[in-house]
Amino acid sequence: MNIRNIFSGHGRSRNDYSETTFQRVIEEVQTVRSEMGAEKTSLVRTLKPLKTGTDKTVITLSPMRSLSFEDFTYPFSSTTKIRDALKLQVMPYSAAGELEIFPVILEKSGRTSSGIVWYVSPDELDIPSSHSQKIWPSPLPFVSGLKEYGGNGATIWIDEENISSILWQSNRPVLYRWKKLSGHDAEEEITAWYDRYCEARGLVRGGNFVVKASGNTEAGEEFSDVISESVEICPWIAEVNLSRRVLEGARDLERTVRMLAKVSGGLVAAGAIMLGAEILDYYHTSIEVTEARERSEKFYRETFDPERTGRISNPVTLARDKIASFTGKGEEGRQIDEVLADMGEVFSDFSDSSMTIDTIRYNADGLDCTGTAPDMTTVLNFRRSWEEKANLVQVDNTQFVSGIGYRFDIRIRW
């Protein structure tokens, strides 16, 4: 059975924790007498240095009386969701007193996560602390002392008032136990208790690693070595921090998440309302545009060209051209004989095709033609031929007519 007092060793410093400051919690019962003469006792926790380091990290070892833990496995890995699930799990026991929850994830596989959750009474957290401080259960960081037993056995912490211990199986904690230190045979009693417990539960007994903290003022270098090696064996130990600062951070995060969820829900609702309003506005605008276009086409047909069929892409421009021709402005600008000469030259390129021009409208601004062609390529080539002779050539409307081909309108402006 391995029993060591690491406060007396002198080993080689070789790990990150060699420069870490360690301290431990001292519990003292104080009696206060009121003005009426009544006496009231209270448990006061103070800090005592164990090992002074040079870095900013401070780790406090506390022999917590109410501490317990258990394993958990959930089909999600969000810390917030895990905390919420654990709160629901312990809710039936809240009548016995409040419990603070400290989950530590040990493994992740896909969306599934498993780990250890530490339960502790809020009173245990009344420890003077700083922002750089971590709080560990006293027997936690000494599992490397059980390496010759395959990580099986008990790490035991003994100080002036407490004897706290953790039972390990294959470097994984399975039980935490605290009892008040009473008599010189307390160490033998706890080891014997673990002998009986492991035998009854069919667990591997392994060995013991005992840390005797009482009466020691400064730990040796072996103290840091053991802790550093323990963290190498169980990296999750570095994530343990049973302090109010962690609780406050988790609660702040939960409040922030809830607030953001409410804000995002409001934004989604507002966005849905605005989107609905925009869709309705677009629908009404589309109806108005369609009605205005249909009215314009109707007015153009009734006024200028009753026999016109199909869509009219720009009735306003066509109406303006008609009015210009009616007012005599068609005689100004390019002469009709020049226009006919250009048309004859253009048509010379289409003598072998079946394209025909049915209607020609001439005015001062240009020429409008309505005709038919066997295919769309012929229409595009006809437009391209006019582009060399005019400033603007635009096909306004094309419509396929069975047995005839493509009926088209073309606008030519000088």
Q: Is the pTM of this model over 0.95?
A: no
Between 104-113, 271-280, 370-379, the lowest mean confidence (pLDDT) is in: 271-280
Kindly state the percentage of the chain with pLDDT values over 70: 80
From CA 283, how far away is CA 406, in angstroms rounded? 33
Pull the structure tokens for residue 37.
């003469």
pLDDT at 207 over 50: yes
Q: Provide the pLDDT for residue 10.
A: 42
How does the average pLDDT of the chain come out, rounded?
81
The answer to whether 346 and 360 are in contact (CB under 8 A) is no
| C-alpha–C-alpha distance, residues 20 and 237, integer Å | 15
> What is the three-class DSSP state of 305?
coil
Better pLDDT: 76 or 5? 76
For the chain, percent of residues with pLDDT exceeding 90: 28
Rounded to whole angstroms, the Cα distance separating 238 from 161 reads 26
Mean pLDDT of 167-192: 92
Give per-residue pLDDT as tens, 117-145.
Answer: 999 988 888 887 655 589 999 999 999 99
